[in-house]
């Protein structure tokens, strides 16, 4: 079950090496996004687009 996190908790996760995924539409990602985030829009989220992510590391989405 996914865990809801706060801004502070996200920063801790990022420092610990978590993967960060922006699931907003590409245009919104292009405008501005969190440092280090990769763009995988919600409607494109599948096994192929997430192949570059490690299943063994935490992943945070926004």
Interaction between residue 38 and other proteins (CB under 8 A): no
Nearest approach, Cβ of 49 to other proteins (angstroms)?
A: 10
Nearest approach, Cβ of 43 to other proteins (angstroms)?
A: 10
Give CA–CA dist 37/44, Å, rounded. 16
The candidate with the shortest Cα–Cα distance to 36, out of 61, 16, 19, is 19
Phi, psi of 39 (to 5 degrees): -95, 115
Residues at the site binding other proteins, with contacts judged by CB under 8 A: 1-7, 9-10, 13, 18, 21, 23-24, 29-35, 37, 42, 45-47, 50, 53, 55-62
């Amino acid at each position: 079950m996914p865990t809801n996190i706060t801004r502070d908790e996200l920063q801790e996760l990022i420092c610990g090496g978590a993967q960060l995924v922006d699931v907003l539409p590409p245009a919104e990602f292009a405008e501005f996004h969190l440092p280090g985030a990769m763009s995988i829009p919600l409607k494109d989220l599948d096994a192929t687009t997430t192949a570059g992510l490690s299943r063994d590391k935490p992943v945070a989405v926004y």
